[in-house]
């Protein structure tokens, strides 16, 4: 998808100049509602992952791997919180005054909080071995994929070519250390 591409196929002046083009009020309201629905779905599925109900899928053989996932989630999530500081948000629509983060963990992953959430819920799923957790985890993967794409679209609207260049070299959720990240 081209950066801030107009329906005619031309790249808009805001994208060429890297300027912020504020969405219309109707679009902002629609974006807020969509973002809120995605957040509600995310937290509902996290809650389902944590429920200790239903049949188990094994005798706990994967518990050590689950604990490793939980530790990795703490590290990745902690680094993301450190990088974002007071700008940390759960909602996928970026605040108008928040700068684009491209350093620290954000130089390796565009959505490290989503990575941390997936690692944590995978850790819980593997540790508990519950069928319901597995189903909720798989659904959460889909919701976070949709949410990250939605957030990327909002970041593209907000930062134009600066985000497009960043997104072209930094993966969304799974780090790719073999790739050049421009450091």
Give the mean model confidence (pLDDT) for residues 97-101: 91
Work out the pLDDT band at 21, boundaries 50, 70, 90: low
Give the mean model confidence (pLDDT) for residues 133-148: 96
Per DSSP, helices labelled H in 10-108 are 13-17, 25-50, 63-84
SS3 111: coil
Q: What is the pTM of this model?
A: 0.80
pLDDT at 26 over 50: yes
The lowest-confidence range among 39-53, 130-144, 167-181 is: 167-181
Bigger pLDDT: 178 vs 3: 178
Q: Is the dihedral of CA 177, 142, 31, 73 positive or negative?
A: negative
> What pLDDT shows up at residue 100?
93
Work out the pLDDT band at 95, boundaries 50, 70, 90: confident
User: d(Cα 40, Cα 42) in Å, to the nearest integer?
Assistant: 5
Collect all residues with Cβ–Cβ distance below 8 Å to 85 and sequence separation of at least 6.
none
At residue 11, what are phi and psi to the nearest 5 degrees? Answer: -80, 130
User: d(Cα 126, Cα 172) in Å, to the nearest integer?
Assistant: 23
Asked if residue 98 lies in contact with residue 81, where contact means CB atoms within 8 angstroms, the answer is: no
> What pLDDT shows up at residue 9?
37
User: d(Cα 76, Cα 108) in Å, to the nearest integer?
Assistant: 11
The lowest-confidence range among 85-89, 138-142, 174-178 is: 174-178
Per DSSP, helices labelled H in 102-175 are 112-128, 131-159, 161-169
> Euclidean distance between the first and final Cα of the chain, in Å?
25
Bigger pLDDT: 55 vs 182: 55
Work out the pLDDT band at 5, boundaries 50, 70, 90: very low
């Amino acid at each position: 998808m081209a950066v801030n591409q107009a329906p005619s196929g031309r790249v808009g002046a805001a994208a060429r100049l890297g300027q912020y083009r504020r969405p219309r009020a109707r679009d902002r309201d629609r974006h807020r509602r969509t973002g809120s629905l995605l957040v509600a779905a995310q937290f509902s599925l996290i809650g389902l992952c944590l429920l200790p109900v239903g049949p188990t899928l094994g005798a706990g053989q994967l518990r050590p791997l689950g604990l490793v996932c939980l530790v990795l989630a703490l590290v990745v999530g902690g680094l993301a919180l450190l990088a974002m500081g007071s700008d940390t948000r759960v909602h996928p629509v970026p605040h108008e005054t928040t700068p684009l983060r491209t350093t620290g963990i954000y130089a390796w992953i565009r959505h490290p909080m989503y990575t941390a959430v997936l690692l944590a819920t995978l850790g819980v799923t593997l540790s508990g071995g519950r069928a319901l957790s597995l189903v909720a985890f798989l659904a959460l993967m889909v919701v976070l994929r949709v949410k990250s794409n939605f957030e990327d679209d909002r970041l593209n609207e907000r930062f134009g070519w600066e985000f497009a260049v960043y997104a072209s070299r930094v993966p969304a959720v799974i780090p790719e250390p073999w790739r050049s990240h421009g450091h």
